[in-house]
Amino acid sequence: MSRFGHFLQRTYQRWKQDTLSQSDFRPSVSILKLSLMAVFVGIAAALVAWLLYRLIGLVTHLAFAGQWSFDFTAPSVLGAPTWVILVAPVVGGLLIGLMARFGTERIRGHGIPEALEAILFRKSKMMLKVAILKPLASAIAIGTGGPFGAEGPIIMTGGAVGSLMGQVFYLTSIERRTLLVAGACAGMAATFDTPIAATLLAVELLLFELRPRSTIPVAIACFVAAGLRPYLIGPGPLFALDVTFHPDTVVLAMAAVSGVFGGLLATLLSAMIYKSEDLFHKLPVHWMWWPAIGALAVGLGGWLEPQALGVGYGVIDKLLTGQMVGSAIVVFMIVKSLMWVIYLSSGTSGGILAPLLALGAGLGGLEAMFFPGSQPLLWPLLGMVAMLTGVMRSPFTSILFALELTRNATALPALLVTCIVAYGVSVFLMKRSILTEKIARRGRDVFREYSVDRLEHMAIKEVMTTGILSVPGSISVHELAANHFDAQQKYRAYPVVDADGKLLNVVNRQVLNQWRENHIDDNSILADVLDVDPVVAFPDESCRSVAVRMAVEKLDRIPVVVSIDDRHLLGMITRYDLLKPYTHFHDEERVRERFFGNGKVAAQSDNKP
């Protein structure tokens, strides 16, 4: 082969090794490309948030006042007659059912589970119909009195915009996922003006990794959307809380109690939602009619407590500032929770964050009546984030969310205590969160815990098999078959090396049989008939990259050489070798040791699953 031919072969081999190890040849270029695209995704998400707010305002005025106005307002301030309050939600539910039946069923739900499902099981692909129909359906649901937030539909629609942009260009599934998550979280940032919490939500819930290639573009999209929010929706924090809190030991202890109550309420509401959903599945009518049936609860609830209709940002502000107390909170919480549980489980379209904030703030308002201390406004804030943590199981997102919503950092110690306790209660009482239960009910489980990938953090040189038996390339095919693949064959494959100990390739019985099927002369020399483009591994590579390469190439063993240009054979990596890192997992997770007592190390292995 000519020198130029060898150069092309080495270049191809280097590209192939980089590709199969899932490492970007120029990762900085990929990050810059996605970051630039994330700017446009952030702009689109901000526009989607603005559009949805205007649509909700329009539907609200048309449904409850018969007016043509885009101002975002609560249904309770429009003074609608009783029959309108009872009928409007049912009409909205009927329209949503028709849109889901004849448009796309994926507009049903509150948005985040659907985004998770697209990320995990559909290669981050979302349809154009979802981007168009989801905000329209949500505007109808919320505008006709549905007790939902706008953030869930915006998350879903923003994610659809990011996914569609990713589908226009030649991108990998991971890159499309980054853009989808960027659009979803930018929608949340535009809704609440919480870019840091939105970025952290991506890390805790949607990205399933913490890497520059995904975190940087998502953060850019979130800050772009939040930067546009003052010009599109309005400036300032959504629930400004100009109070200085001084959490002492007693307050921190009661903050833990607040976390327990928040986790319990979150668990109760989650169970009620899925119990109600099971009841809807037993109805002898098509699911298209379920939203209209569920909307009956909204109409009745709105008749009993008009403040429970709609998004409820005004009620949340009243609760956080102490303007709603006593029995008013009890009535609001009972009505709001029943409306939310029944209508959401019917398969309508709407977000869950705003109702959780309202119910959590109401719980905190009740706690303020009984908990000790001179700072009653602290408890609605803690109840709000306790509910958010208990339902979403994202404690640090909830803490940052409260901080950005109120621009008040003095409650951070109490927020940490409350959120961690609520998180623990939720994990102890519920197998899955409300966000992942829906996916699990479709037969697809979601594993969300972050842990170290042991294959990624262990090099091949630490687990490869050395001292292997190789065969020289100077022997014939007949000698190979007679001496190495006889009835007492000891090894399944043999690396073939030249006179200098450099790898030529690996030969096994399958290769030998192929030679015979192709009528290769048994007197042929191995070096002349072997393919000179072997799949190899390098000693400093991670076990994960080689495991991926082994899976793609459908191999059960790969030779290890010094480098791409120096093919001196160092050893062999097999599928069994790739399991060796998990012996450390067994030692760390299963082996219980005691080092004190009799002065000797006592160990007990726990092999139960």
Calpha distance 228→204 (Å, rounded) = 25
The pLDDT of residue 131 is above 90: no
Cβ atoms of 365 and 333 closer than 8 Å: no
Residues 463, 517: Cα–Cα separation, whole Å? 36
pLDDT at 33: 85
What is the pLDDT confidence band of residue 21, given thresholds at 50, 70 and 90? very low
For the segment 96-118, the average pLDDT, to the nearest whole number, is 74
- 38 has pLDDT over 80: yes
pLDDT of residue 39: 93
- Percent of the chain at pLDDT exceeding 70: 81
**Domain(s) of CATH 3.10.580.10: residues in the chain:** 460-583
Integer Cα distance of 384 and 419 in angstroms: 10
Predicted confidence at residue 578, as pLDDT, reads: 83
Can you give the C-alpha Rg of the chain in angstroms? 30
Tell me the pLDDT tens digit for each residue of 350-361. Answer: 778 888 899 999
Residue scoring higher pLDDT (19 or 499): 499
Sole residue written with tokens 């201390």: 373
Is 483's pLDDT higher than 80?
Answer: no
What's the average model confidence in pLDDT over 162-183? 82
322, pLDDT greater than 90: no
Residue 25 has pLDDT above 60, yes or no: no
Is the pLDDT at 13 greater than 70? The verdict is no
| pLDDT on residue 593 | 66
Q: What is the pLDDT of residues 362-374, one digit of tens each?
A: 999 999 988 887 7
Is the pTM higher than 0.85? no
Q: What is the mean pLDDT of residues 301-317?
A: 89
Q: Is 234 helix (H, G, I), strand (E, B) or coil?
A: coil
pLDDT in tens, 340-352: 999 988 888 877 8
The pLDDT value given to residue 128:
72
Would you state the pLDDT for residue 225?
93
Q: Which of 69-73, 78-82, 329-333, 459-463 has the highest mean pLDDT?
A: 329-333
Of 10-19, 197-206, 498-507, the range with the highest mean pLDDT is 197-206
Q: Provide the pLDDT confidence category of residue 450 given band limits of 50, 70 and 90.
A: low
Pick 502 or 225 by higher pLDDT: 225
Pick the CATH number of 18-232 from 3.90.1150.10, 1.10.3080.10, 3.90.930.60, 3.40.50.700: 1.10.3080.10
| Mean pLDDT across the chain | 80
Tens digit of each residue's pLDDT (9 = 90 or more) over 567-602: 888 888 888 888 877 777 666 667 666 666 554 444
DSSP 180-227: HHHHHHHHHHHHHS-HHHHHHHIIIIISSS--HHHHHHHHHHHHHHHH
- The predicted pLDDT at position 19 comes to 46
State residue 448's pLDDT score.
Answer: 55
Name the band, by pLDDT with cuts 50, 70 and 90, for residue 7.
Answer: very low
- Which comes out higher in pLDDT, residue 537 or 114? 537
Minimum mean pLDDT among 13-17, 261-265, 281-285: which range?
13-17
Q: Is the pLDDT of residue 11 over 80?
A: no
**Residue ranges matching CATH 1.10.3080.10 in the chain:** 18-232, 249-440
Provide, for the chain, the percentages of residues in helix, strand and coil under a 3-state DSSP scheme, each rounded to the nearest 5: 60, 5, 30
- Name the more confident of 72 and 186: 186
Quick one: pLDDT at residue 384? Answer: 92
**Mean per-residue pLDDT for 208-214?**
80
DSSP labels, 92-119: HHHHHHHHHHHT-GGG-B-SHHHHHHHH
pLDDT, residue 118, reads 63
CA distances from 483 to 471, 474, 477, 490, 499 (A): 10, 14, 10, 11, 19
Amino acid identity, position 246:
H
| Residue matched to tokens 């940032």 | 189
What is the CATH T-level fold of the domain 460-583, as seen in this structure?
CBS-domain (3.10.580)
Distance of CA 561 to the CA centre of its chain: 38
**Structurally, what CATH architecture does the domain formed by 249-440 represent?**
Orthogonal Bundle (1.10)
